[in-house]
Amino acid sequence: MLNILDIIKDWIKEILRECIMGNLDGMFDQINNEVGEVAANVGTTPAAWNAGVFSMIRNLSDTVVVPVAGIILTFVLCYELRTCIHKEKRTW
C-alpha cells in the first residue's frame, strides 16, 4: 500500500514539475523577446521614433525657449554690470 502511495506521489510531483517548468520556460521566452524589442527601440533616435513630435519640440525650442533664455541672460548680465559699476563708484 505504501508503495502505491509513493508511486502516486511521484506521478503528481512529475506532473506539477512539468507544468511549472513549461510555464517558466514560456515566461522566460516572452521576457527575452520583450527585452529584444526594447533594445531595438532604445537604439532609435527621437527623430526616427516620432518625427512629428520631435520637429514640433525642436521648433518650439528654436522659436520660444532660446529667445526667452537670451532675454533672461541679457537681464542677468546687465544687472551684474550695473552692480559692478555701482561697487566701483563707491570705492572711489
Q: Amino acid letter at 48?
A: A
Q: What is the pLDDT of residue 92?
A: 63
DSSP 57: H
Specify whether 36 is located in the same domain as 69: no
pLDDT in tens, 43-86: 888 888 888 998 999 999 999 999 999 999 999 999 999 999 98
Q: What is the pLDDT of residue 66?
A: 93
Q: What is the pLDDT of residue 68?
A: 95
Q: Which residues form the domain of 60?
A: 46-92
Domain count within the chain: 2
Specify whether 60 is located in the same domain as 84: yes
Grid cell, residue 72, equals 533672461
Specify whether 37 is located in the same domain as 50: no
